[in-house]
Structure 1
């Protein structure tokens, strides 16, 4: 059995030398130590060019097989035998932490926690130690009811967590989609083809239609004006129309040119336009789908028909729409918003 510990008093030294496997690494070249202590080390077959240096720096390495334990050291030459290439040196400028680490390794070796295995070191297995399976988690034993409640709570927690994640992803996706592909406007104008009848002269207004009559033929007398100087002037329907609105009442004095009656031709056309910021024009094109929503909740699908710059407001654009369904008679009297989706 090879000698592992040598008391340095045999050689007039103050520290015990240990033959614990260790190597000195200098510039990626390693040298196996003959023995070492907390004060220094010795090496056989040490190169001449390094043995002649007064000071060398490197790492003292303790190899545990799967990992290395390294200590940075500065070594001052004590002697170097050229014939035998034996080198001896003392450690200099060791920090308190480094000395403590070396003492810790020595104490572990002396107590048997660290043993030699050829040129390697190994951790000794304690015979009376407790072996634990780290793959197994500590589980609390529960009764059937407790296990059911626990599993239910864990399941609900997973569901809540998943719902939160899905909600956040949906919100982020919805926000990105709206910013990139959706243009909205609440400045919507709805107008019809309309014919306005005005008073031909000053006089008293007399409405001639029955209350339930709204359909008119060309030439039907809608109202009369009794002139102040005498005489009656009839106001006739110029087309086959629907009576849209009457702006005066029988017996009321009206002035010449005053708007009295509004008619809507049977083949009238509806115009829906909206103002959008000019910076959003590049997001839409003709043919994009749109939704017109009225204040009473009524919704009509539409498509972008034309896009043009506003002649009076430079930062606005006028977008007209082609409706996919006819509007009700009351639609023009309601507030509306439009949503354009270009995706």
Structure 2
């Protein structure tokens, strides 16, 4: 017994068919049995597709663009189903009665059914009623792609703001680059052209008081920084014969250091006190390894930092004295040699600071190193006393 499933045309508005294939100019045309009913007559489709159909033997003349109702009937093995829709005339040949039409108002369900039937015919699949109902119920379409947004022309204010942002970003990047280059350049300069060591404040006018003979040292209880006048007794030396010999000051000075403890045994000529004239000159003295002093010359600029909270002073190298061991030979290591650098500050150092530690940075970069022909300042000749204190490297 043959069954007929009739599917009417959906009342929903015609969907928009979105073609996603690379070539979507036309659909595949099939020569499969489909009966088409219109004007009370039955016509066998010459060929058909999901977009339309063509038939032969149409007796009623049709004009291009005419729209009329049609019913598509698909005969299957044990049943058939029909689909009601509309057709629009695309061409009509009155001599042969051949007419081609398209489907202008197919719903989503209609399109799904037609595509399902095309696939089933091509693959030879057996179509049953349950498959048709499932195809009608499901949604096989996706929303069409939205067109890209239309660019809005920028206003004058927007262009100015965009330009300002670009300029600001460029300036910021430039400042970061300059800062990085400056930091790297400063680090290279410090490592290459700056000699940093700890030193002491000394004076070329210092007077060293020495023991006139060997014996036991007895201090006169003078304090450091205490003023003394000529003939002031600084200490006494008790000799082996039991006779005390006085050691007196020879200048209007103050006591810079008293390195000998009370009751110590001293030899003749040993330093028992250091006296500093009140009007003397204070300089910075630094003892350097000979390798570090290789590039230091008289006239080099140097900074002097004291530890009493006063601002950093600048000065110039006055003298570089290089020393070697007394019994030096070709086998004596170079590390045994040293140099004593004397630095004269631009602003005077307090003479009372003699003996205090300082931090010295000597800048050895000179224009002559770059071939510009500018020589450093000449060294100032001055007597050098052997009263400098030993310093250690930082």
Structures share a fold, TM > 0.5? no
Select the structure of larger CA radius of gyration. 2
TM-score (norm 1): 0.43
Considering Cα pairs closer than 8 Å and 6+ residues apart, tell me whether 1 or 2 has the greater RCO: 2
TM-score (norm 2): 0.38
Structure with the bigger percentage of strand: 1
